[in-house]
Amino acid sequence: MLQGIKNTAKSSIIYGLGNISTKLVGIVLLPLYTNTELISIEEFGVLGVVDVSIQILVAVFGLSLYQAFFRWYWDSKYISERKSIFFTIFSFLALLVGISVVGGFFVSNSLSTLLFNNAIYANVVFYMLVSSSLQILSQLPLSYMRLEEKPIYYTITNLSRLIVSLLLTVIFITKMGRGLEGIYEAQILGNIFFLLITSRYIFNRIKGKFNFAVLKEMLEYSLPLTIASVSGIALATLDRYVLNYKATMLDVGIYTLAFRIANTIRVFIVHSIQLAVAPTIFRLMNHPNNKAIYSRIMTYFTLLVIYASLGLSIFGFEILTIFSTDDVYLSAYKLIPILALGILFGTAKDVAINGLNIVKKTKIVSYIVLPLAVFHLGLNFTIIPILGVYGAAIASAVSQGIFLLVVLYFAQKYYPIPFEYKRILLSLLLAVILFIVSNQLTPLATWPKILVKLLLVASFPFILWIFSFLKEDEKQWVNGGIRKIKGILGF
């Protein structure tokens, strides 16, 4: 069992490099974005709203068809039709996003006024539509690479997109003074470059036969997932919209910065592992020991997220001083622990939901997430006027926690998996205790404080070892790894 998980972990590392490459631009460029001489406070707030709007557009117009492709790819009845299915999905989505871009050209002024009470961001809104359309098309070849288990090619192509987007963003903002428009122009050109360099790969995997019957089946499968995906994204992004209407653009900017830092957990760990795990989940459906493997995946996944959240929460202020050029954004560090907790709940929910996907009970997810999104919206409107950005962070964590509990209930009802709740809660409790201890270090000077914080973070795995967190097979694997390292170092 551990061998299978180790193989998945190796793929996760390689996929992680590729996944990080597409997201790293937004993190690396934070010092540029928070430089008020280049991007104003209002523009950084607009950036936060536009970014979450792109996520929603990708979910809506992508129709979760790439997820359906995962399911149909492994279906024995359709193995010989994989190329025609890929062609069907790609051409259908190309037509759909083409229509959306043309329509967006004519309504961009109205959308800008609706979102920002001002039409001056009409070009930014239109570029947002173009960028999201290209991202939808890019998802399909990337999904095929994952299904064919080509993590190196996946990584190389994404790194290429990163380099193009990164260089163009810097040039457009610092040399050409393009501001917000330059950010999305660079994203568009980066995505076009990606589609060009993968065009041969795409053409080699298509067969010019449009299969209406299969498309209909896939849409029936994916539409509930789309509703769930959009509502799930709404759970993670509605706070930015409510802050936009109920608070100031500075509040939106502070929250956006805190979210981007906390979201590195999702980018560096969650998404990277999901890229490798998603195909594995379905491939193991008929494995005799599949549920035990699913259980371990939940444990290891949440443990990594808890540990990363602990590190980010303890060093939140220090991280903000590096990535924030202007002191006006520094208070964002206080939001990181709350946002990280919400990300942890969301991660556990994503693992638990696989049980419903396996038994094709995807409609249940849409029934869950729609009322929850409404609850989340109401909670934001209720507490943001009282607590401001802290209210938005609390609402996010509470809603994600409820989402996790409800999904667990239904997933365990239809596809029970023996999750290791005790081990997960033990690691979470330890992380909370260490974080509370770190908050008592304020009187210390800077470098002694950093040293103690490092010791607190480093102590986490050792304390878990002392409390017998690991099982015997896990201890053997760890000890074997230590022996290999000693051998390499000559000890």
Q: Is 59 exposed, middle or buried (0-12, 13-18, 19+ CB in 10 A)?
A: buried
Apex CA 369: angle with CA 212 and CA 22, to 5°? 70
Residue 486: predicted pLDDT: 61
| Crossing angle for the helix pair 65-73 and 82-116, to the nearest 10 degrees | 160
User: What digits encode the pLDDT tens for the residues 29-76?
Assistant: 888 888 888 888 888 888 888 888 888 888 888 888 888 888 888 777
User: What digits encode the pLDDT tens for the residues 446-469?
Assistant: 889 999 999 999 999 999 988 878
Residue 244: predicted pLDDT: 86
The dihedral of CA 191, 131, 165, 172: what is its sign? Answer: positive
Residue 402: pLDDT over 90 = yes
Percent of all residues in the chain with a pLDDT value above 70, rounded to a whole number: 91
Residues 379 and 395: beta-carbon distance below 8 Å: yes
pTM recorded for the entire structure: 0.77
CA 69 to chain centroid, in Å, comes to 20
User: What digits encode the pLDDT tens for the residues 268-277?
Assistant: 788 777 766 7
User: What digits encode the pLDDT tens for the residues 134-149?
Assistant: 989 998 898 888 888 7
The dihedral of CA 312, 317, 323, 326: what is its sign? Answer: positive
Highest mean pLDDT among 103-107, 426-430, 480-484: 426-430
Q: What is the dihedral of CA 101, 102, 108, 110, to 10 degrees?
A: -120
Residues 164 and 190: beta-carbon distance below 8 Å: yes
Residue 159 to residues 8, 155, 234, 278, Cα–Cα distance (Å): 21, 6, 29, 22
pLDDT band at 315 (very low <50, low <70, confident <90, very high): very high
Q: For residue 230, which of 393, 388, 372, 354 has the smallest C-alpha distance? A: 372
User: What digits encode the pLDDT tens for the residues 219-260?
Assistant: 888 887 787 778 778 777 888 889 988 888 889 889 989 998
Residue 23: pLDDT over 90 = no
Section 427-454 average pLDDT: 90
Residue 189: pLDDT over 70 = yes
Residue 22: pLDDT over 60 = no
Mean pLDDT of all residues belonging to the chain: 85
User: What digits encode the pLDDT tens for the residues 341-385?
Assistant: 999 999 999 889 888 888 878 778 778 887 888 899 999 999 999
Residues 248 and 41: beta-carbon distance below 8 Å: no
Distance (Å, rounded) from C-alpha 155 to C-alpha 145? 10
Q: Is 166 exposed, middle or buried (0-12, 13-18, 19+ CB in 10 A)?
A: middle
Contacts with 272 (C-beta within 8 Å, 6 or more apart), sequence order: 12, 13, 15, 16, 19, 20
User: What digits encode the pLDDT tens for the residues 281-299?
Assistant: 777 777 778 888 888 889 9
The dihedral of CA 295, 301, 304, 310: what is its sign? Answer: negative
Residue 47: predicted pLDDT: 87
Distance (Å, rounded) from C-alpha 39 to C-alpha 43? 6
Residue 396: predicted pLDDT: 92
